Amino acid sequence: MKKFPSFIQIYKKLIQTNSINSININDDSSNKIIIDILANWLYDLNFSVEIQSIPKTNNKFNLLATMGSGPGGLLISGHSDTVNVNTKLWNFDPFQLTIRDNKFYGLGAVDMKGFFACILDLLHDLNLKKNTHPLYILITADEETTMSGAKYFSQFTQIKPKIIFIGEPTSLKPIIGHKGHISKSISVQGKSGHSSDPNNGINSIDIMHLILNSLFQLRDKLKYMLNQKQFQIPYSTMNCGYIHGGKSANIICDFCTLHIDIRLLPNLSIPQFDDLMFNELKTIQNTWGQNIIIKNIHEPIPSYALSQSSDLLYIVEYLSQKKSEFVNYCTEASFMQYVAPTIILGPGSINQAHQPDEYLDMNFIKPTKNIFKKFIQYFCKK
């Protein structure tokens, strides 16, 4: 019988396997190789494995590994991709696991290949034959850009686990809510002309000025309505992050574009926000509607929140011995919450994610295995 790899061997192999995900097609890579590696290990651990091709992607796949059948049980989820890397900023080779000063360095070390190494090592240690409820391992694609993997899975899966854990780096604290994310581009098409005659054109900067005034009013309203004190920034935010228009001081500006970023609280839905924005811009639209184009830059990502009255929250806080929190960053919980109640909990700190010399502190390994051992025992054996 072949020997199952050790924690370090698993971790090394995952770090060595490039799974960069980028909106820039030249930097993007298919995640098929890493999915196949993980599928083989899970198969060797007696899981039945299913690899799902995700439509309309650059050759990307999800992996669902299942042990047991029936309703309920536990789903452990994570993403196979990493962000892109600028090797010049690194002191280590991002594609080799380097162990230094009690830390594991490498691209994806904390976000989130270290988590998979912990889970596979744990699954190998445990006797899963006595489980009475199913255990699922889900590995998704494209989390760092479009979240197409989690989105596709949540739309089409038939399984109904009792609870989902996403092993993003939370320093092992249960995270039970985060904001949603919308990016919009607002463009104004005017008409060019000589600057000496303002009536000889339509100045798109003038119209954008009206739009900005209305958006700032909306931004102030967001600040005072529907606060949620669990968040460090307890209101929905709006940032004007990019604006461009015009060619020269002596030409009437014929085109101006603005990009805005909105972070919505869980108690404000995407359609509710769209209505608020529509109302705020209504007067301007009545006059200039023909000239204004509003588009989503990417598909909006819904906010996420676990019901705080949920029994599951009490159980998870008890088993992890940590109080739950809310965070500012976005995760696949936005989509997974539609499959089952979802909690984000994993090893390492989010501060080291997406950074040069990304690392996972070694002190997280044992506690991670311990906590997930308790989760598996609780949710798969009850």
Residue ranges in contact with Zn ion by CB under 5 A: 111-112, 168
Question: Residue 185: how many CA atoms within 13 Å on its side-chain side?
Answer: 12
Which entry of 28, 111, 143, 358 is annotated as an active-site residue?
143
User: 3-class SS at 33?
Assistant: helix
Nearer Cβ to Zn ion, position 114 or 245? 114
> Helices 7-16 and 32-44: crossing angle, nearest 10°?
160
Are residues 64 and 48 in contact, defined by beta-carbon separation less than 8 angstroms?
no
Is residue 299 part of the annotated active site? The answer reads no
Query: What is each CA distance from 142 to 17, 82, 252, 346, in whole angstroms?
Result: 15, 8, 42, 19
Which entry of 28, 81, 144, 280 is annotated as an active-site residue?
81
Nearer Cβ to Zn ion, position 119 or 186? 119
Q: How far is the CB of 179 from Zn ion (least distance, A)?
A: 16
Phi and psi at 85, nearest 5°, equal -130, 140
Other beta carbons within 10 angstroms of residue 28's beta carbon come to: 19
Nearer Cβ to Zn ion, position 15 or 292? 15
When CB distances to Zn ion are compared, the closest residue is 111
Burial 119-153 (b: 16+ CB within 10 A, else e): bbbbbbebebeebebbbbbbbbbbbbbbbbbbbbb
Query: What is each CA distance from 251 to 87, 187, 313, in whole angstroms?
Result: 44, 18, 61
CA–CA dist 78, 187 (Å, integer):
37
Nearer Cβ to Zn ion, position 121 or 168? 168
Strand residue runs (E) in 23-127: 48-53, 61-67, 74-79, 98-100, 103-105
Query: What is each CA distance from 357 to 14, 187, 342, in whole angstroms?
Result: 16, 39, 30
Q: How far is the CB of 303 from Zn ion (least distance, A)?
A: 17
Q: How far is the CB of 189 from Zn ion (least distance, A)?
A: 39
Q: How far is the CB of 113 from Zn ion (least distance, A)?
A: 10
Shortest CA distance to 283 belongs to which of 185, 190, 217, 192? 217
Shortest CA distance to 349 belongs to which of 339, 335, 361? 361
Q: How far is the CB of 75 from Zn ion (least distance, A)?
A: 17
Nearer Cβ to Zn ion, position 170 or 228? 170
Q: How far is the CB of 110 from Zn ion (least distance, A)?
A: 8
Nearer Cβ to Zn ion, position 121 or 142? 142
CA–CA dist 57, 29 (Å, integer):
11
Is residue 143 part of the annotated active site? The answer reads yes
Catalytic residue IDs: 81, 143
